[in-house]
Every structure is written in structure tokens, then in C-alpha cells.
Amino acid sequence: MLYFGTPVALLSTVNPDGSSNLSPNSSVWALGDRLVIGLGLGGQGLENLRRDGDCVVNLPSAAQWPQVESLARATGRSEVPPRKRAMGYRHVADKFALAGLQRLPGELVRAARVLDCPLQIEARLQGSLDEAGATARGFAIAELQVLRVHAHEDITHAGSHHIDTLRWQPLLYVFRHYCGTGTPRGANFRAETALPPQQATGAAA
């Protein structure tokens, strides 16, 4: 598997009874106001997204990896697919309780946010899923429209909506190991906030 190092997200989606499911995910990326996410067939997260496009992409910090891993062999599917059952997966109706995570209502979507995650992105399925392609591949690729972003105050620069990269420590999935990112190495020429001078190491002279 090409898990070369992508952020871990907890995807919150709406179950048929209106409660929220949580699916660990490591295949999501953002550009502008769009997110693209990859979801395996047979998961409750994909089924929910097909039926009700509302979701929240919650981003845990590196320190929260045990809570993510506590969800790793759980599925919201009441009938666990045989292949997953053989791998030790079991049905869990309330994954927030399983991981000891607190829920907050979405402001613009029906899916619940994870209060404990420093970044929470409310989003909605944009357009329809490529069902034929999904069946052939075994997973679907969905495009989501970002509706609202919530950030904990302790990862933002005081009084602004900019993220302080010295304090935001995303959880990365690197070849099935949970990793953090360490301190920032430098800044892009378009960065809207500066790093302390001692942070900018290794720059070309």
C-alpha cells in the first residue's frame, strides 16, 4: 500500500437514524474550497455519504493516535462484511463513545463534529459519485465542498484565523505507522505568517 505519509482524518457521516458515524481515513486532500476523499466500498462512511452528502472531516493531532487506533477495527455497518469480519472487525454503533471523543453539532451539516479534533471541516458531497468506477476499483473517490472550517484557538495565531504551524501537529499515516510532523523547516513565499528566524533552517544561502 502506498501510504507514503498523508494526514489522518476522522470522517463523520450521517447514519440512517440521524446519529453520526466516524470513519478513520488517510486519503483526503484539499484544494481551494474542495476536498477529495477516497472511501472503500462496504464501509458505513461511504454508504452514509451516498445517502446523505453531509459530512465533517475532523483532523486529529499526532498525540491523538491511540484514539484513532481504537476505531481501527470497528465499522458502523451492522452486517460486518465477511472479509472484514475475518480480519477482526466488529460492528460499533457509537464510535464517539468507543474512542472517548465528544461530539458537537455541525453548524451547516447534519453530521456531528469531533470537539476533540483541533480542525473540523464541515463539507458536503459535490455532484454524484462515480459508481461504475468505484465498483471496478473497490473504492470510491468523492469530491466534497467545504462549507465551514473550525479551528481550536490554541492552534491559531491570536486574533486571526491563521494556523500556527509551531502548534498544529497533524497526525500522519506513514506506511501504517502513526507519525507527527516535528517543527516547520521553512515557509513558502506566499505564507501569510512568518516563522521565528531560528525555525528557518537549511535554507539555501
The site for ligand FMN (CB under 6 A) is made up of: 8, 21, 23-27, 38-40, 43-45, 68, 72, 75-77, 89, 139, 173
Q: Of the candidates 30, 16, 18, which has an alpha carbon nearest to the alpha carbon of residue 144?
A: 30
CB of 184 to ligand FMN, least distance (A): 23
CB of 187 to ligand FMN, least distance (A): 28
Distance, CA of 103 to CA of 97 (rounded, Å)? 9
Question: Which residue's CB is nearer to ligand FMN, number 60 or number 106?
Answer: 60
Distance, CA of 25 to CA of 19 (rounded, Å)? 19
Question: Which residue's CB is nearer to ligand FMN, number 76 or number 118?
Answer: 76
For residue 99, what is the enclosing H or E element? helix 95-99
**Contact yes or no for 55/144 (Cβ under 8 A):** yes
CB of 74 to ligand FMN, least distance (A): 6
Question: Which residue's CB is nearer to ligand FMN, number 27 or number 126?
Answer: 27
Question: Which residue's CB is nearer to ligand FMN, number 179 or number 195?
Answer: 179
CB of 100 to ligand FMN, least distance (A): 16
Question: Which residue's CB is nearer to ligand FMN, number 29 or number 183?
Answer: 29
**Contact yes or no for 104/11 (Cβ under 8 A):** no
Question: Which residue's CB is nearer to ligand FMN, number 62 or number 195?
Answer: 62
Query: Given the DSSP bridges, would you call strands 177-179 and 103-104 parallel, antiparallel or unpaired?
Result: unpaired
CB of 75 to ligand FMN, least distance (A): 4
CB of 54 to ligand FMN, least distance (A): 15
For residue 59, what is the enclosing H or E element? strand 54-59
For residue 47, what is the enclosing H or E element? helix 44-51
Largest distance between two CA atoms of the chain: 60
Please give the grid coordinates belonging to residue 201.
Answer: 533552517
**Contact yes or no for 123/55 (Cβ under 8 A):** yes
